[in-house]
Amino acid sequence: MEPTRDITLSDVLNRLLDKGLVINADIIITVAGIPLVCVALRAVVAGIETMLDYGMMEDWDRRIREGQVK
């Protein structure tokens, strides 16, 4: 049996979203909106509908105001 490069979005999501090198959390931000949309993407792939929660955006806003984003 040989490996195929015929991959699905699910394959890509499962690698790109949960894995990879870790860098000192202090100096990194993940672009706001990306994790939220990624949750929606992953949920769609898994066949469940998830609503983008405005509450999560509010939390992001608050964190910026509190200077947690450098």
64 part of the interface to other proteins, by CB under 8 A: yes
Contacts of 37 (CB under 8 A, 6+ apart): 52
Query: Measured in whole angstroms, how far is the alpha carbon of residue 6 from the centre of its chain?
Result: 23
Site string for other proteins, 27-46 (x = CB under 8 A): xxxxxxxxxxxx-xx--x-x
Which amino acid is present at 19? K
59 part of the interface to other proteins, by CB under 8 A: no
Interface pick for other proteins out of 15, 53, 59, 62 (rule CB under 8 A): 15
User: Minimum Å distance from CB 52 to other proteins?
Assistant: 7
The rounded distance, in Å, linking the Cα atoms of 60 and 32 is 7
51 part of the interface to other proteins, by CB under 8 A: no
55 part of the interface to other proteins, by CB under 8 A: no
| Contact predicate 60/28, CB 8 Å | no
